[in-house]
Structure 1
Amino acid sequence: MKSLLLSTLLLPCLLSAEVFKPARVTASSFSVFNVKREQHNPELTADGKTGNPKSYWGSDVKDPNVKPPHWLLFDFGREITCNTITLEMVRCTFKDSLAMAINDFRLEYEENGTFKTIAERKGLLSEYRKAMNSKDLTVRYNARIPELRQTFQFNPVTTSKIRLVVMDTIARLDEMTVSFEKERVPAPKAEQKTITIDDGVLRFSFAPEDAELCPGFVRGEFKSASKIYYSDRGERDQVRRYFARGTGDATFTVPVKPGIYRVLVMGGDLRASTPGAKLVVNGYPVNIPPNFENVFFWDERTVEADDAIRIDAQGDWLVNAILLAHIEAAEAYETAVHRLVIGPDFHQLKLDPQPSNTQPPTVSAQERETGYLFYTPSLQQRIFPFTTPLDSQKGTAVSAAAAGNTSKAISIAAYALKHIPGFTVTVRAPALNGVTLPTSIHPIRCWPQRTGHKGNAKTYFKVPELLDDNRPAFLEEATSRQYYILVDVPSGTLPGLYTGSVEIAGKGIKQRSFPLNFTVHPFELEPLDKKQYAAMYMADSHRGYIAAAPPKFTAEEQLTMDRERLADMRKHNMNSIVFPSVRYLNKEQFEEIYLTVNQRLDEAGFPRLPMPHHNQALTKQMVEEIQEIVTRTGLREILFYPV
């Protein structure tokens, strides 16, 4: 900072200010896109409006001759005396909120035809991102996100022009305000108040001391002999912004009355990758997997408690929040779960209950003694926890059939007639004459999902959507749990009746075995690659595209991610991909990516089918260059769709 600068205010102040409007606003350059959809002319930085992600000043990104430094000039047309400048940076709404902020810049005023520096800031974002990648956990978890509203106060200067100079590759700014603050009295710090919600749900946020918590939450604290970091990422989400990061075994205990409780644990970090969390909740394992930044995962368990809910964390772990409630508060608990998982958009959505059979089932004395109803719904029927079986679906065996060179999915479910702790369903794979068919089983997990996708419909419901890890569960009375069995029939498998079984066990019930009869037909089907074409975008905001990951990943990490994603696609009968949507720089750059993509697809067993290529900036020259590459190499055809 230059000596003229007094302070950079990041806290609200009680101010009496005279704000100066510029007579003219100019810039070194600005971008022009579809003006009906978005504008980026410099005058937008003085219109008094902020928060519109399509209305801000942005330097020209199309002209390759436009290079930093970029500048934005406020010409007041007269002399003013000011001592405060506030920069409202652009808050990115579609990915990292900092992605469109500026990093290196300075503020200047004109005096006698020469611009002099008021304040200079270098590394506003890069220093923070450096801290996020630090191996020093104290640095990483104590780093605070830079404020997107930067206020600079300085000794009064008299001038007719104020200039912002940006050294970044691209300059963007939402608003700049120049004023004279007559008073500089810091606002008193508001007293932190805990807002309680008396609905039977206990909500714990693992935040630093004195943090402002989301309504209904109280601060939770793990006990450990190892270091625990309680971090605040400073974003708007009052749950996800906070977390506890442990470096060794730890325990969180909540005293409760005896009973049956539902427990949810959420883990994730808005700003850095996470170690996940291996937890045990009153004897039931909970695994929050490691993830990229801004990816949150949650899991639930139903557990019995005598006098406490005890959550044991093992090794390195990270936890944001925990919800728990007695099953008598099930409705309030479900609402709290939806609000937490959906996040800030929850208030925009409306619950959309889905149809399912809920008529009480007929239960024989023998079935009552068994403790549950075993049934076999069709794959097309979605089984919710509240679904009840029809008499026609109840059975004592499972039967299915498939031809060679295919796979067969089978749906089974159990409806509890009483509480069953440790409920376990396993499968013994079908076999014949020493040949065993590859078989897997997964419970189908219900997950809050958007249900309204047409027009302005914004609805959601907790629907069966995710194949979960198979493990013992607490099956609550009057609830269903669905399982997905997948049997692979490789090419060359001999026809016949293959027999296996579905095994069910649990506390308080007798172990039972249900026959699994699987018929392999005496013929094979042609590979799906000859019958269908199925391509998809294979990218996400964290890992990027096949053969085109963000630079934070090494070549080895890129290769591993590509292989994992392509193998999963191939398993689900996909046989092509949409070509990576990367900016076309030149023929050589495109050919390098094209060859790598083809190599990856060949290694993963993809047939050589065309790849659609989406590029709104296509030119005749680009198309001719790409066609020459395809013709010369003899590899996969490129299909252009510049829409």
Structure 2
Amino acid sequence: MLNSRWIFLSLLLCTVLCQAEVFKPARVTASSFVITNASDNHRPETIADGVLGSNNAYWASDFKSSAKPPHWLEFEYDEAITFNEIKLDMVERYSISSLLNSFALEYWDGKEYRTIIDKPKYISEFRQAMVSSDWDLRYGAGLPTAHPVFRFSPITASKVRVVIRDSLGRLDEMTVAFNPGGEKKQDLGLPVINVAGNQVRQFVCVPPDYTLPQGVERMPLERAEGVYFCDRLGPDGFRRFFAVSKNENTVRIELSPGYYDVFALSGDFCTGSPGCSIKVQDRTWQYRQWVLPGNPEGSFFWDTFTIQVMDSGVAEFKLLGEWLLNGLLIAPVQARQDFLAAVDKLMLGNQAAKFVYRAPETNIVELPPTEQERAQGFITFNPPKEQRIFPQTTPLPEQRTSQLQFNGAAGQRLALSVAFRTLQDIPNFQLVAGAWKDSAGRTWPAAVTAVHPIRVWPQRTDHKGAGKLWNRAPELLAENSPRYLVSGTTQQYYLMLDLPQDTAPGSYQSTVSVMGEGCPTLEIPLTLEVHPFSLADIDDMYFAMYNGDANFSFLTRPENREGDILRLRDMRRHNMNSVIYPQSGWTSAEDFSACYQQVNALLDECGFPRKPMPYHNSGITADITSQVKDIVQKTGLREILFYPVDEPFSRNKLEIALQLYPEVKKVPGVRTYSTVTQNCVDKLGASLDICCYTITGYAKFQPDRIREEFARTGQEFWWYSNGAREYPAAVRYKAGFFFHRSGAKGQLYWAYDNFGRDPFSDFDSAQGDHAAIYINGGKIISTLQWEAIREGIDDFRYLRTLEQALAKHPEHPAAAGA
């Protein structure tokens, strides 16, 4: 009993002695501050109000009046205090670039200010280290945190200040204290999974001296030599840690024999990742390789795959070449639902509580299998390409199929959808497409069928990105590889075929082999019917994607040429015929001319016709307009459409538009463009030439009326829409039959590749991602939405082909009802 009391009293005394004493200032003053509006408070006293993370309450120097550095903020006390710790809480804006770079902490000695801590390159030194070829620098550099705590020998003073040498000074909080205790232990956060009754194991590459919380296991690397262990302190308890090395290594994990699902993650919050190539030995003692490609700063690519653990009871993962690995999740395939729930939780991250799961609307009535299907182990069905196929989706009776068929015209990209509903567990399930033969039985090597399993992953499902609903949605056209299909689930595949321009009309034959362990190989006949006509040209119309990737300077940097060509060729394959001019703002005529000619050269190289390009510049003047016009006329290249204001829907933006559009039109012969509602068109009048409507009710989008009015005014009618966050059926309809019915001359979409932060997480930013494609390791990963836009524009081409044929043959019976 005495010992217990002594321990309790000792702990109590330690708690009292170790608790920091915080000194609240009597007065807070600053070199300057700013007032922006009634709701924002950037006065100096906000720095000591104890409120963290408010977007409206932090101290900021007077940027409206361009206050010059150094900026300072001072705490003054009525009497001298003794302190040994200062904590700064900086204003965070999703990346370290928003933090203070050059600053110092000082105290008043009665005569002058003396330096306590000086940080002249708090961010820039770290940034330099992140791009260094010296890995000791890159992975050994201390991470600049938004909440640094500076400790030093005790100082007695009545004034303390922070001096900021950056162009802008801003700070959320500053705390001055005396702390008799030691360093605060690292908080590793909670494990991804709930360990109670859960078969999912979580392995993380934490530094060797870190203590792990319950439910987290240390990555069992064979060798620690040459391995850098890093803690980036964010964005969450899984992504913040990683191990990286230039040398091959091995992870061995003891597991009972059987099949296991594996989740692997590779990415660095602060700099580019070399990725991670993982080889795993299967039962034939052969190695299968999975590749997590290298990615830019803040991108975390992840994938799931299934391995087989043999009688040795050890899973062996070989990490090849240069590699970076954050962690693994591993679970037996019998616990797949727990495994998927753990992946979902990791993807939703710290914001999970803000999102609501909503089960998708899909058919879930099981179709009784035939005896042949029972023996086969699965039901084969052929759903429409626009039907979203979830793992729980079941086939309709009329969707059963024993053969597959492509139909199309020469030069067209073709696709079809096939899916499989499993009646048993099937390891190593895969599709293999055979060679094509023509009607005479001759091999036709010019066409190759691409096979893409459709990847289902956690995504927001609302029409707009700010929505909070989510489910596991089919989206990505993944690379073909064997899969472990669990009984009672559905896996969809896309088969794609690019027909050469010189493809002769007629019939062609091939096969698709469906195979997996425990079931006989199924050979599905695959036929192709090539139409005896070519599709009509549509390059008199306008088709373009907005490009929104802030991490890739599209078409503006010569060093990005390879990535530019990759994107442009992909756009052209999907029926796009122009781009939004990538350069915004204005520096000089020479700079614009160089960029303009580079953009034109790239478009020409990738087969784009010479269509106009909208040029968004909110600082446009008549003089700049005139200079741009001269450059276009001298080079004889693509027309520039002047685009001063995007979506002038609000009163403020409309007022700006009412100033800038007439300013541009002072220059004769130029044309203007904007994304509009009917109110914008009414207000801007003749100063707006090309009116690109948002297709919503509040915009008064009434195509028949718009066409009639524009026939009188001479204006041109385009529209734009969301191409990335809608169902494939809706996107295809808009791009094809809707476009034809609207009578518009152009259609544009937001966006080709606009990501909030990490492209491979839809939950780490307020608006979510708006992307028709993903780029990973220098390869484009297409989506169902992107293919649906291509299919829709092809529908429009078929309609035009029919119209042209009927116009040539008005005597044909079909012409009477057209």
Give TM-score, length-normalised by structure 2: 0.69
Instruction: Find the counterpart in structure 2 of residue 120 from structure 1.
Output: 118
Q: Quick check: 591-600 or 231-240, which moved more?
A: 591-600
CA shift at 1:291, angstroms? 1.0
Instruction: Find the counterpart in structure 2 of residue 569 from structure 1.
Output: 571
Instruction: Find the counterpart in structure 1 of residue 643 from structure 2.
Output: 640
Does the Cα contact within 8 Å between 1:51 and 1:90 map onto a contact in 2? no
Write out per-residue CA displacement over residues 412-471 of structure 1, whole angstroms, 9 at most, x where no aligned residue. Answer: 122222222222212225442654434322111111110124597411111111111112
Distance 1:481 1:343 in 2: 26
The 5-angstrom pairing of residues 483-632 of structure 1 reads 483-537=493-547, 539-548=548-557, 555-556=558-559, 558-580=560-582, 582-619=584-621, 621-632=623-634
CA shift at 1:547, angstroms? 0.9
CA shift at 1:20, angstroms? 0.7
Instruction: Find the counterpart in structure 1 of residue 419 from structure 2.
Output: 413
Instruction: Find the counterpart in structure 2 of residue 136 from structure 1.
Output: 134
Does the Cα contact within 8 Å between 1:14 and 1:187 map onto a contact in 2? no
Instruction: Find the counterpart in structure 2 of residue 9 from structure 1.
Output: none
SS in 2 for 1:339: helix
Q: 1:438 to 1:305 in 2, by over 3 A?
A: closer
Does the Cα contact within 8 Å between 2:30 and 2:71 map onto a contact in 1? no
CA shift at 1:243, angstroms? 1.2
Write out per-residue CA displacement over residues 388-422 of structure 1, whole angstroms, 9 at most, x where no aligned residue. Answer: 22222121111221123322211112222222222
Does the Cα contact within 8 Å between 1:104 and 1:121 map onto a contact in 2? yes
SS in 2 for 1:234: coil
Instruction: Find the counterpart in structure 2 of residue 107 from structure 1.
Output: 105
Q: Quick check: 78-87 or 290-299, which moved more?
A: 78-87
The 5-angstrom pairing of residues 71-470 of structure 1 reads 71-74=71-74, 76=76, 81=81, 83=83, 86=86, 88-94=88-94, 96=95, 98-109=96-107, 115-152=113-150, 153=152, 156=155, 158=157, 162-177=160-175, 179=176, 181=178, 184-186=180-182, 189=185, 197-198=195-196, 199-211=198-210, 213=212, 216-224=215-223, 227-283=226-282, 284-306=288-310, 307-432=313-438, 435=444, 436-454=446-464, 457-470=467-480
CA shift at 1:383, angstroms? 1.6
Does the Cα contact within 8 Å between 1:438 and 1:487 map onto a contact in 2? yes
CA shift at 1:286, angstroms? 1.8
Distance 2:293 2:421 in 1: 29
Q: 1:419 to 1:111 in 2, by over 3 A?
A: closer
SS in 2 for 1:265: strand
Distance 1:429 1:566 in 2: 29
CA shift at 1:331, angstroms? 2.2
Does the Cα contact within 8 Å between 1:278 and 1:287 map onto a contact in 2? yes
Q: Quick check: 290-299 or 276-285, which moved more?
A: 276-285
Instruction: Find the counterpart in structure 1 of residue 747 from structure 2.
Output: none
SS in 1 for 2:148: strand
CA shift at 1:111, angstroms? 6.5
Q: 1:412 to 1:641 in 2, by over 3 A?
A: farther
Distance 1:66 1:566 in 2: 44
Distance 1:545 1:60 in 2: 34
2:566 is matched by which residue type in structure 1?
E
SS in 2 for 1:464: strand
Does the Cα contact within 8 Å between 1:59 and 1:70 map onto a contact in 2? no
Q: 1:172 to 1:85 in 2, by over 3 A?
A: farther
CA shift at 1:632, angstroms? 4.3
Instruction: Find the counterpart in structure 2 of residue 552 from structure 1.
Output: none
Instruction: Find the counterpart in structure 2 of residue 7 from structure 1.
Output: none
Could you list the structure 1 runs, at least 4 aligned residues long, displaced by more than 6 angstroms after superposition. Answer: 190-196
Distance 2:158 2:625 in 1: 53
SS in 1 for 2:318: strand
Q: 1:568 to 1:226 in 2, by over 3 A?
A: farther
SS in 1 for 2:132: coil
Distance 1:232 1:442 in 2: 36
CA shift at 1:116, angstroms? 4.2
Q: 1:627 to 1:61 in 2, by over 3 A?
A: farther
Does the Cα contact within 8 Å between 1:362 and 1:391 map onto a contact in 2? no
Distance 2:627 2:113 in 1: 48
Q: Which runs of 5+ in 2 are unaligned?
A: 1-16, 283-287, 647-818
SS in 2 for 1:252: strand
Q: 1:31 to 1:517 in 2, by over 3 A?
A: farther
Q: 1:595 to 1:228 in 2, by over 3 A?
A: same
CA shift at 1:484, angstroms? 0.9
Q: Which runs of 5+ in 1 are unaligned?
A: 1-11, 549-554
CA shift at 1:309, angstroms? 3.0
Does the Cα contact within 8 Å between 1:25 and 1:75 map onto a contact in 2? no
Q: 1:138 to 1:158 in 2, by over 3 A?
A: closer
Distance 1:31 1:591 in 2: 39
Name whichever structure is richer in helix by fraction: 2
Q: Quote the RMSD (CA, aligned, Å).
A: 3.2
Name whichever structure is richer in strand by fraction: 1
1:140 is matched by which residue type in structure 2?
R
Does the Cα contact within 8 Å between 2:90 and 2:172 map onto a contact in 1? yes
Does the Cα contact within 8 Å between 1:547 and 1:562 map onto a contact in 2? no
SS in 2 for 1:139: helix
CA shift at 1:36, angstroms? 6.1
Distance 1:216 1:613 in 2: 53
Does the Cα contact within 8 Å between 1:630 and 1:637 map onto a contact in 2? yes
Does the Cα contact within 8 Å between 2:615 and 2:640 map onto a contact in 1? no
Distance 1:453 1:206 in 2: 37
SS in 2 for 1:414: strand
Instruction: Find the counterpart in structure 2 of residue 50 from structure 1.
Output: 52
Q: 1:614 to 1:260 in 2, by over 3 A?
A: same
Distance 1:25 1:37 in 2: 20
Q: 1:201 to 1:378 in 2, by over 3 A?
A: same
Does the Cα contact within 8 Å between 1:398 and 1:517 map onto a contact in 2? yes
% same residue: 32
Instruction: Find the counterpart in structure 2 of residue 5 from structure 1.
Output: none
2:420 is matched by which residue type in structure 1?
A
SS in 2 for 1:131: helix
Matched positions, count:
614
Does the Cα contact within 8 Å between 2:461 and 2:469 map onto a contact in 1? yes
Q: 1:578 to 1:79 in 2, by over 3 A?
A: farther
Distance 2:247 2:58 in 1: 46
Distance 2:460 2:400 in 1: 31
Distance 2:189 2:568 in 1: 50
Distance 2:553 2:56 in 1: 24
SS in 1 for 2:533: strand
